[in-house]
Structure 1
Amino acid sequence: MRKINMVQILVFSTIFFFCAVKAFSQSSILVDTSTGRITVKATREKLQDIERMIPQFPMEIRQVQIEARVLELSEDVAQTFGTYFERLTGVKVPSETP
């Protein structure tokens, strides 16, 4: 699902409002900014018009970049650098690797 920003919601709502006023008075639009969802109640023809307009709006897709490094250290190296993982986590760290 693509998220949309407030400017896009405002533009979409304005266009819908003018289309709906011409069509009939029972049209409605609900905007949920927390999820980026727009719920529209209108005639079938107006919904089809709106479906054709939606791809014209630029959508922002939020992305997250995660960078991780996994290191395997022997007990000697940990002692050399002064890190005692047992004290940090409370979990017994094996001194030998299988």
Structure 2
Amino acid sequence: MRILKIHKRIEVDKSIGNMRITSLHYSRPIENSSKWENYTEISCWYDNDCENCPMGWETRSYEGECDDCGCLFDYDFRVPIWKCMLPRWIKNIIAKSALRRKVSP
């Protein structure tokens, strides 16, 4: 999702929870001119982090995206996408409570 388009060249690569904010640089020719227009787009992406999943799922499909919506959070394949986008510390809390429920008789 594009957040901002500016004509100044800046570098942004930040990660906040499972959201990543990056900058992409573009240039295109200006109509009826020999000059080029240079601009930078600041974009926000969802960054599913399967390699560091607190639930222990570390599977990815052959195309590189996470299998069935990210981290397979609830030990099943019906996971809403919003759970995968939670910050890691919240996932750890949910994972611990899920394990406690399974262990208690």
Q: What TM-score range do you get, normalising by the shorter chain?
A: under 0.3
TM-score (norm 1): 0.22
Larger radius of gyration: 1
* TM-score, with length taken from structure 2: 0.21
* Structure number having the greater helix percentage: 1
